[in-house]
Amino acid sequence: MHVRVVLFAMLREQKGVSELELDVAPGTTVGGLEARLYPSRQSGSVPGKLLYAVNQAYVTRDHELQDGDEVAFIPPVSGG
């Protein structure tokens, strides 16, 4: 199945794109996708604390992805 990952701020700059289209196995969780995209979080370019959103709503790491989902890894927000 297929998901779209949208990237913002430092995560967008790090990958050099604002979107990724990925094939994932059924049963893949948000945390599983994170581990695939960011195998080493020690690089310093990915903040230690990410939040997760699927289809524009916050979810937890164990949320299971569905075909066609829009997934976002949310670095610490700083609006205002």
Partner 1 sequence: MVEITEEPIDIGAVIASVRYSGGGAVVTFLGTVRDNDEAGEVIALEYEAYAEMAVAQMRGIRAEIETRWGIDHVAIVHRVGRREVGEVSVVIAVASPHRLQAFDACRFAIDRIKEIVPIWKKELYPHGSQWKQA
**Count of Cβ atoms closer than 10 Å to residue 52 Cβ:** 20
In the complex, what is the shortest distance from the CB of residue 25 to partner 1, in angstroms, rounded to a whole number? 26
Query: How far is residue 38's CA from residue 61's CA, in Å, rounded to a whole number?
Result: 14
Query: How far is residue 34's CA from residue 50's CA, in Å, rounded to a whole number?
Result: 10
> By CB under 8 A, is residue 8 in contact with partner 1?
yes
Q: Which is nearer to partner 1, 23 or 78 (CB)?
A: 78
By C-alpha distance, which of 70, 55, 58 is closest to 24? 70
Residue span binding partner 1 (CB under 8 A) among the ranges 9-17, 22-30, 32-40, 59-67: 9-17
- Binding residues for partner 1, rule: CB under 8 A, are 6, 8-10, 12, 47, 53, 56-58, 72, 74-80
